[in-house]
Amino acid sequence: MNKKTKDEIIELLSYKANLKANVYETTLEVFNELKNIAEETALKTKKTLTKLNKNIKVEYRDKGEFEAEMRLAGDLLFLTMHTNVFEFPRDHEVMKSAYVKEDKSRSYCGVIYIYNFLADSIKYARTNDLGYLVARIYINKDRHFLVEGKRQIGPFYNNFVNEKLNTEKLKSILNASIIYCVNFDLLTPPYELVKELSVQQIIENNNYLRVKTGKRLGFRFQADHDKL
């Protein structure tokens, strides 16, 4: 390896490592903010609901550095941060913007996911059950962000060039996710999907049948076009 090649590799590794570390730290900072907001929201909601019906369960659980859960009656919001840093695909609209063309490092983002599961799926460890992605939040080193998600969320936060993430916007994203999940009801799956049950499923039965359950099992579930 000649000196020129060696220096190029060292420079590239140093640049990419520093950039990705910066993006990671910013994303982790945002995720911790989101967890704090989720905990505060759960406490306030529980306090108000207790006066109306003490049997409605609302709780927050910190599941570690990169995971958290919000229990909302029969629903569960699962918040998770990916530990890697990503870049938008070359054909993405963000990559065509003057904002990114001016500084390509702005296209590198950390990602936070918000999923919706049935609370019983977790409670009874129904490993075949499905959860659904409600929102995916991209954050770059300067807190510019983009949200891909359901129609109540995504369309309002798709200006990556000009939008910077703050506490109020995080609250708005979380609240919109909660409202979407509570309104997103469980439908009975098509008969053809549940007409058969294996002996193994009966043998493994632990007070419930291990039949896959999801809110739209067997139905179309699209990012922005499904109807509640």
pTM: 0.82
Q: Would you report the helix, strand and coil content of the chain in percent, each value rounded to 5?
A: 45, 20, 35
153 in Cβ contact with 180 (< 8 Å): yes
Q: What is the pLDDT of residues 133-171, one digit of tens each?
A: 999 999 999 999 999 986 667 567 889 999 999 999 999
Instruction: Give the number of other Cβ atoms within 10 Å of residue 93's Cβ.
Output: 12
Q: How far is CA 109 from CA 65, 123, 129, 133, 222, in A?
A: 18, 33, 30, 18, 24
Q: What is the pLDDT of residues 194-228, one digit of tens each?
A: 566 666 666 665 544 555 565 554 334 344 444 43
Instruction: Give me the count of residues in the chain.
Output: 228
Domain ranges for the chain, please list them.
3-186
Residue 164 DSSP SS3? strand
For 224, the token pair is: 């922005």
